[in-house]
Amino acid sequence: MRKHLIASLLALGVGFIAPAFGQAFPSKPIKFIVPFAAGGPADVVAREVGQKLGAELGQSVVVDNQGGGAGVTALSTVVRSDADGHTLLFAASGNMVLQPQVSKAGGKELIAKLRPIGLVSTGPHVLVVSGKLPVSNLKEFIEYARANPGKVNYASAGVGGVAHLGMEYLKALTKTEMTHVPYRGTAAAIGDLASGQVQALFSSPPSLQAAIDKGLVKALGMSAAGGTGAARSLPVIGSVVPGFEFTTWYGVYAPAATPTPVVDRIHAALAKVLKDPAMVARLEAQGVALADSTPEQLSAIAQRDTEKWAKVIRAANISLD
C-alpha cells in the first residue's frame, strides 16, 4: 500500500512539474540573437517583433546583434545558452538553409541543435537592372543576356547568399550566361548598378526601393507570387520563366532541449503579435510581409528550401571552401 501511495504521489509530482515550468516562463528578459549587424532588414524586423513579443510575454526582449562569421557566431551563442527559452535565435533563411550547404564551416552541426518555434516573415526578392541597360522588361532582359553571353555582370551581396543563388537559378532556367560580381553588402552593389558598372541584381524590396524611386535602377519582376508595398505591382518572374520561384524568410529558433511547454508559450505569443494591425502596416510599408507558422511548418519550409537550393548549388558548383 505504502509503495502504491509513493508511486501515486511521484506521478502527481511529475504531472505538476512540466506545466509549472511553462507557467514560470519567462522569469527574466529574453534575448533575440540576430546574425546580422544593427540597422539592416533583419534587425528592423527583430526589434519590431521583439518589442511586441516582450509586451505579450510580460518581459522585455533585448536584441543582440552578432553579425559576421556567416551567422555561425550567433548560432553558437544560442546553442551554448541555457535551454530555458530566454535566449532565442532570430534567423534568416540564408543562415538555416544556404550557409550550411555552401561551406563546411556554415553551421550544419549547430542547426541540428536547434528547434523551430515559428516563422516571422516571408517575402520575394526583386530583380533590378541598371537604368543604362537597353531593356524595359524581363523578357527583353533575357533576350539581351542570350544575345550577349557572359557580358551581363550581375552583382550580389556576397558569394553563396540568396542574391547570388537566385541569379544562378534564373540563369539555369533561362539558359543564359552572366558573370557574377560579389560585393560586401547590397549598398555598394546598388551604387555600381546605378552607374552601369554592373547590370543586374536580386535583393529584398526595402534595400532597393529608394534606387527604384529615383529611377537609378529598373525593377523587372519579383521572385515569388506575392509581395507587399510597391512590390505588389511588379510582374511575377515565374509567369515568364516557368518554375522560377523563391522567397526569403525569418524565423525564431530555440536550443533543442528547450521544454515543449516553453516553446508552445513562445509560439502562441509570437503568432498573436504577428497579427498586430499597426505593426503589420509599418512593416508592410517597408516591404516586409509578416507570416506565422507552427514549428512543424517552419521545419518543413526549411527542408523544402534546402532541397531546392541544393540543386542550384550543385549545378553552379558554388562553395566557400
CATH of 126-239, one of 3.50.50.60, 3.40.640.10, 3.90.1750.10, 3.40.190.10: 3.40.190.10
Residue 5 has pLDDT above 80, yes or no: no
pLDDT for the residue numbered 10 = 47
pLDDT, tens digit (0-9, with 9 covering 90-100), for 116-127: 999 999 989 999
HSE-up of 149 (CA within 13 Å, CB side)?
4
Residue 183 has pLDDT above 70, yes or no: yes
* Segments of the chain assigned to CATH 3.40.190.150: 30-123+247-316
Strand partners, 130: 217
C-alpha–C-alpha distance, residues 9 and 15, integer Å: 10
pLDDT for the residue numbered 86 = 98
pLDDT, tens digit (0-9, with 9 covering 90-100), for 141-157: 999 999 999 999 999 98
Residue 117 exposed, middle or buried by CB count within 10 Å (0-12, 13-18, 19+): buried
- Contact indicator for 122, 227 with CB cutoff of 8 Å: no
- Contact indicator for 92, 42 with CB cutoff of 8 Å: yes
C-alpha–C-alpha distance, residues 61 and 56, integer Å: 10
* Segments of the chain assigned to CATH 3.40.190.10: 126-239
- Contact indicator for 277, 100 with CB cutoff of 8 Å: no
Phi, psi of 214 (to 5 degrees): -85, -5
- Contact indicator for 144, 135 with CB cutoff of 8 Å: yes
pLDDT for the residue numbered 321 = 82
The residue among 71 and 164 whose pLDDT is bigger is 164
- The mean-pLDDT minimum among 91-95, 185-189, 302-306 falls in 185-189
DSSP string, 160-193: TSHHHHHHHHHHHHHT--EEEEE-SSHHHHHHHH
Residue 6 has pLDDT above 60, yes or no: no
pLDDT for the residue numbered 210 = 85
Helix-then-strand count for the chain, H and E: 13, 11
- pTM for this predicted structure: 0.85
pLDDT, tens digit (0-9, with 9 covering 90-100), for 299-310: 999 999 999 999
**Could you tell me the pLDDT band of residue 106, with boundaries at 50, 70 and 90?**
confident
Residue 23 has pLDDT above 60, yes or no: no
Residue 248 exposed, middle or buried by CB count within 10 Å (0-12, 13-18, 19+): buried
What is the mean pLDDT of the segment spanning 273-279?
96
Residue 114 has pLDDT above 60, yes or no: yes
What is the mean pLDDT of the segment spanning 106-115?
94
CATH class label, 30-123+247-316? alpha beta
C-alpha–C-alpha distance, residues 15 and 198, integer Å: 63
